[in-house]
Amino acid sequence: MTDIINQIKQSFKNGDILTRLIFVNVGIYLSVVAVRIIFGLSFSIEVVKIDSVFVKYLGVPTNNLTELIFKFYTLITHLFLHITFNHILSNMILLYFLGKIFLSYFTPKKVLGLYLLGGFIGIGLLEIISIISPKFQEANYAYGASAAVMAIVVGVCAHAPKSEVRLFGILPIKLMWLGAGIVLLDFVNMMDENTGGHIAHIGGAITGYYFAKSHSQGKDITKGINTIISKIVSIFQSGRKMKVVHSQENVRNMSDEEYNKNKKANQEEIDKILDKISASGYASLSKQEKENLFKFSNRN
């Protein structure tokens, strides 16, 4: 089990931005499923009630700006929450296949930036319409990556409209018709039981289209949001660098004798770990030995 977890961590670490987005979405979905099983079997709680808790606390409140102010974090969390298998499957398939084409034209930063921007604008459009339309008389919650995925799908379809893909691996179709067909499905189904979802999808589609047209004019609408992401990442990176400097300061304060003694002890420890791996494999290491191996490898 430990090896599987390590492989998943390694795949996430080495994967591209699409892999990471899919990992996060699938990971949260599997967490929902796990909670259903645990509480369903242990306390006989109905799945609908369990799902409603996730939706209430991770979904974006619509037609209720007061609640949204207190749950501002849901502007992010709702983009990764799925309740049904069909919902996450359709979103991740579109994200993977159209996202791969998107990556052939644009950078990974633009994928993440447009994903977030499409989700934000999609939910923003839904919030506006839910306030002014009499159809949305009651407050509700929106969730799912559909608007974010739509931004990427329509973005690449609008950028390279005449490029062809094979639908279901058989039928050749130009991206412009594929994108138009996906948007049309939301339009014709607008008044079904998921009106709010379709509105958010349209908002994502508009974002993707505007991204492609702006890019053709030399403008990048994801620049602002990517700047914010970079600043947040730099804060965490600077925190890690401070720890390294602190560690180096301790080394500088050592005498030559202390330094050599410490280096020898560390080398003996890593030699023993490597011998154990050679004889019995990585899985035979204890938790502490794995931590020491990781620590020593990062120092070199």
pLDDT tens for residues 268-281?
777 777 766 656 66
Tell whether 192 and 266 lie within a shared domain: no
Number of domains in the chain: 2
Q: Which helix (H) or strand (E) segment is 273 a member of?
A: helix 256-280
User: What's the burial of 47, exposed, middle or buried (CB within 10 Å: 0-12/13-18/19+)?
Assistant: middle
In a domain, 79, yes or no: yes
Structural contact between residues 29 and 80, judged by C-beta atoms closer than 8 angstroms: no
Tell whether 33 and 137 lie within a shared domain: yes
Handedness of CA 93, 224, 212, 109 (dihedral sign): negative
Tell whether 79 and 163 lie within a shared domain: yes
- Please give the model's pTM, rounded to 2 decimal places: 0.77
Tell whether 173 and 84 lie within a shared domain: yes
pLDDT band, residue 254 (cuts 50/70/90): low
In a domain, 2, yes or no: no
**Tell me, what's the pLDDT at 251?**
45
Rounded to an integer, what distance in angstroms lies between the CA atom of residue 142 and that of residue 34?
22
Structural contact between residues 111 and 15, judged by C-beta atoms closer than 8 angstroms: no
How does pLDDT run across 137-179, given as a tens digit for each residue? 888 999 999 999 999 999 999 999 999 988 777 888 999 999 9
Structural contact between residues 210 and 221, judged by C-beta atoms closer than 8 angstroms: yes
Rounded to an integer, what distance in angstroms lies between the CA atom of residue 31 and that of residue 44?
18
Work out whether strand 140-142 and strand 60-62 pair parallel, antiparallel, or are unpaired.
antiparallel
**Tell me, what's the pLDDT at 287?**
72
| Mean pLDDT to the nearest integer, 196-224 | 97
